[in-house]
Amino acid sequence: MADTLFFAAYLLDLIAGDPRWMPHPVKGIGWLAMQSEALLRRTLLPLRLAGILAVLIVVGGSAGVAGLLLTLAAKLHPWAGMAVAVYLLYSCFAVKDLGDHAVAVEQALDAGDVELARQKVSFLVGRDTASLTPSGIALAATESVAENSVDGVTAPLFYALLFGPVGAIAYKAINTLDSTFGYKNERYLEFGWAAAKLDDLANYLPARVTVVVIALAAALSNLRFFEIFTSVGQGARRHASPNSGYPECAFAGALGVTFGGARSYGGEFHDAPLLGIRSGECSPLTIRKSVRLMRLTAALFLVLGVGVRIIVQFA
């Protein structure tokens, strides 16, 4: 029965996505993070220690609330407990939203509306988009699908399969903290140190396991299976992130394109390392293929993960 909850939550995400009108645990996690920062910055604690305490408060508090909700709902009625479990799991998955955002960019480019495509891709990436060319827009969207295939899709599944809804919520808390505090600037270099390090640690295994599942999905999609491993072997460690390079290189290899290159953040230009083994440019078709690859990777990750759980249970 427990394994069916994963499929129910996954299907709910595919159907409903993330309606803005619904209460969402991540919004609560974000609120708790900001309140914790405001409180801890008023203390005389060293910023790094304050940041560590913020991580403990937010991750521990989020997991604790999730566990309490599950316990209270289950005591009310077993079906209520299952409903809460499905909702918590569903809120951690982003397969539909990630795909929908990317497809909106693809459709705008196909229609020749570059300004709309720039607007749509700005919802996916942090880079400046005002001067992006059509190929630059397609590159940004495809890179975002590749990178977010881990922290928005397979990593929450990974921790849900290991530790249930509480594990998925704890992971989302870690990921939200990194998005909130994990910046290498004057404000967060020390305070956000623990959040960034914990996010790196939490994504270490999911990022690498995901490469194997991406390869399986690529093989089923008639994409470049063997080039995935060459691309990952040559480029994953070039990435500034210890984890993001793995899915990005895997997608670049499967799609036969190159990621990276010059981009601007807040008016400052950066050169990201080139990832991939072919010099192909991204296009609306590339975005479409990346979304299909992401969705199939998510489905395979879930099916294989549940299969492993069943084998372990009966071993």
Q: For residues 165, 171, 173 and 179, what is the CA-based torsion angle, rounded to 10 degrees?
A: -140
The pLDDT-based confidence of 269 (bands split at 50, 70, 90) is: confident
Residues 228, 297 contacting (CB under 8 angstroms): no
pLDDT of residue 85: 97
In the chain, how long is the greatest CA-to-CA distance? 58
pLDDT of residue 17: 84
What is the rounded end-to-end Cα distance, in angstroms, of the chain? 18
Question: Would you say residue 19 has pLDDT above 80?
Answer: no
pLDDT of residue 23: 74
Q: 76, 57, 77, 54: which is closest to 65 by C-alpha? A: 57
pLDDT in tens, 144-166: 999 999 999 999 999 999 999 99
pLDDT of residue 268: 82
Question: Would you say residue 1 has pLDDT above 70?
Answer: no
pLDDT of residue 120: 96
* Backbone phi, psi, residue 206, to 5°: -55, -40
Q: What is the mean pLDDT of residues 236-255?
A: 95
The pLDDT-based confidence of 63 (bands split at 50, 70, 90) is: very high
Q: For residues 67, 71, 76 and 78, what is the CA-based torsion angle, rounded to 10 degrees?
A: 100
Question: Would you say residue 27 has pLDDT above 70?
Answer: yes
Domain ranges in the chain are: 2-314
Please, what's the b/e burial string for 154-179 (b: 16 or more CB within 10 A of its CB; e: otherwise)?
bbbbbbbbeebbbbbbbbbbbbbbbb
Question: Would you say residue 21 has pLDDT above 80?
Answer: no
- pTM, entire model: 0.94
pLDDT in tens, 64-101: 999 999 999 999 999 999 999 999 999 999 999 999 99
Q: 182, 245, 250: which is closest to 211 by C-alpha? A: 250
pLDDT in tens, 213-242: 999 999 999 999 999 999 999 999 999 899
